[in-house]
Amino acid sequence: MPPSPRDLALPYASPAEKAGDWQHLLDSAGTLRELAGLASVPPERWPDDEAVGHLRVAPPIADETTAERLLRWSVVFEAELSDLDRAVASAVQAGGQAALADVDLRSAVYLAEKLLALLYGIPAEPAGH
């Protein structure tokens, strides 16, 4: 069954849950920023970290290389990556999670997860959501 979006309009049950999602968004946004930046870097110069590790084991599509996959991803989702990055940066400047409505944060987390999942070739919906 294809992954379906969570109920993005669902309010958070507690401040702790919202804080957890905010931290998750910050982590995901950082990973997305790193990966999008690596699209223009030769693969031999990629860092040996977790984000790249997941990318290297992504199931191949046709005979596409990992670098080609990353470049295609960064081009196809350029608008999403750019808008998400700017939105998160703006939220940080505005004071973090308190500046965000629940639907804003849930949507941003959902979008970040989907972007990563497509690149990594894994289901987008994490367990527990």
Partner 1 sequence: MSGHRSWSEDRRARLADPEVAARAAAARAEAERVEREYQRTLSQLRHARRLTQVQLAAALGVSQAQVSRIENQADLYLSTLRSYVEAMGGELQLRAVFPDGQAALVGVEEVLGLAPASQDPTGEAGQTGDVHALFAMVILHAGRFDTAEERFRAALAA
* Interacting residues with partner 1 (CB under 8 A): 2, 5, 8, 61-62, 64, 72-73, 75-77, 79-80, 83-84, 86-87, 90-91, 94, 99-101, 103-104, 107-108, 110-111, 114, 118
Task: For residues 85 and 15, give the distance between their C-alpha atoms in angstroms, rounded to a whole number.
Answer: 23
In the complex with partner 1, which residue's Cβ is closer, 15 or 47?
15
Task: For residues 88 and 93, give the distance between their C-alpha atoms in angstroms, rounded to a whole number.
Answer: 9
In the complex with partner 1, which residue's Cβ is closer, 4 or 45?
4
Task: For residues 111 and 83, give the distance between their C-alpha atoms in angstroms, rounded to a whole number.
Answer: 11
In the complex with partner 1, which residue's Cβ is closer, 57 or 76?
76
Task: For residues 39 and 69, give the distance between their C-alpha atoms in angstroms, rounded to a whole number.
Answer: 9
